[in-house]
Amino acid sequence: MESKITSLRAKFEEELSKIDNLGELESIRVSYLGKKGSVTDLLKGMRELSNDEKKAFGQKVNELKSSVAERIAQKTQELKELEVQREIDSMPEFDISMPASLERGSYHPITLVQRECERIFKSMGFTVEDYSEVVTDYECFESLNIPKHHPARDMQDTYYLENGQLLKSQTSAAQNAIYKKYKDALINDGVPIKAIFPGRCFRNEATDNCHENTFFQMEGVMVDKNTSISNLIYFMKTMLSEVFQKDIKVRLRPGFFPFVEPGFELDISCLICGGEGCPSCKHSGWLELCPCGMIHPEVLKAGGIDPDEYTGYAFGLGLTRLAMMKYGIADIRDLNSGNLKSMSQFTDDE
Ligand code: FA5
């Protein structure tokens, strides 16, 4: 009986060595370990053996069974690796010196101005924050001193989800979270809060040359002891002269937003018509670009900051409109058009 085991093992090894694909390996597995396989057959011949012989022989057959199973598992792995190698070898050779036939992509004009603004504000010590597009009513309105039924909500009708959340209508929706994130460093270590947060905004809007239902803003806040409107004007002027690399005519006029006091509208002279009046500026010669103001005490309080000790300013730059002015795009709707022909003419130096 022992010689049967030895010769079966030798036969198995010989057959195994000739196999070079997984299909053949499966046939071998069945022919040795299957219900009617050779190893199973060995056990059937045990009927004629004495009890002691049965025990010793049974043990040997089981050893053979597990070593056959182990060898098959090893071979499976080897054959799988071989198959991957064969597939790689069959691939056409790749010539890295061949010129690329694909056209190079380009950045969207809004991405370009956003990066430019981020670079400028970072150089003035601001951090750049990321914030979600879906926010709560508290974040977008209540924390900004706009309670339910306040008329200021009418100008920012947006898209509501069934769970009560909404697509943010203004990047100001991130203010509360930013104050809470940095207030400890401000209060305990005297580190001023200086943050910008660019983001996509949504409004239920009748679109025209300068209004879209989906557009980008970039919010900025600074909170410290003794901040003033002069700080705000300085940062705005620096940003605009850096972005446009020339002097831009601006005007500051009073503006009402429940989350700032006092509040201003910062307009720039329309660069599409040179201030003469055109559809891009609603024929006024001016484009509303960046409302701003001193943060309302109630908004600081909601962010966990004591308004008797700290003051701050906030602004909400219209990034999409800034891209229009920088690149001379007369109709804001072109920016969401997906028209590669017009969008790919803008490049950056990267
Ligand atoms: C706001 O959204 C305020 N959150 C801005 C703010 C922040 C004020 C901080 C004070 C302090 P407003 O709705 O005016 O304000 O929008 C701000 C800017 O976003 C506008 O000046 C304009 O440049 C841009 N904007 C607004 N609506 C649209 C629109 N439908 N399409 C394109 N740009 C828009």
Quick: pLDDT tens for 327-336. 989 999 999 9
Burial readout 160-182 (b: 16 or more C-beta within 10 A, e: otherwise)? eeeeebbbbbbbbbbbbbbbeeb
Calculate how far, in angstroms, residue 168's C-alpha sits from the geometric centre of ligand 1.
12
Q: Which of 114, 154, 170 to mutate to test the pocket of ligand 1 (most atoms within 8 A of CB)?
A: 170
Calculate how far, in angstroms, residue 270's C-alpha sits from the geometric centre of ligand 1.
16
Give the 3-state secondary structure of residue 117: helix
Top-confidence residue, 247 or 305: 305
Per-residue pLDDT, 271? 87
Run of H or E including 217: strand 214-224
Q: What is the 3-state secondary structure (H, E, C) of 60-102?
A: HHHHHHHHHHHHHHHHHHHHHHHHHHHHHHHCCCCCCCCCCCC
Largest CA distance in the chain: 113
| pLDDT one-digit tens code per residue, 236-262 | 888 888 888 888 888 999 999 999 999
Residue 348 confidence (pLDDT) above 70: no
Residue 302 confidence (pLDDT) above 90: yes
Backbone torsions φ then ψ of 343, nearest 5 degrees: -75, -25
Q: Which atom of ligand 1 is nearest to the CA of 316?
A: 7
Residue 274 and residue 331: Cα distance in Å, rounded? 15
Helices (H), 1-44: 2-18, 22-33, 38-44
Per-residue pLDDT, 109? 93
Residue ranges lining ligand 1, Cβ < 6 Å: 170, 172, 203, 205, 211-212, 215, 217, 219, 257, 260, 263, 288-289, 291-293, 314-316, 318, 320-321, 332
| pLDDT one-digit tens code per residue, 161-170 | 999 999 999 9
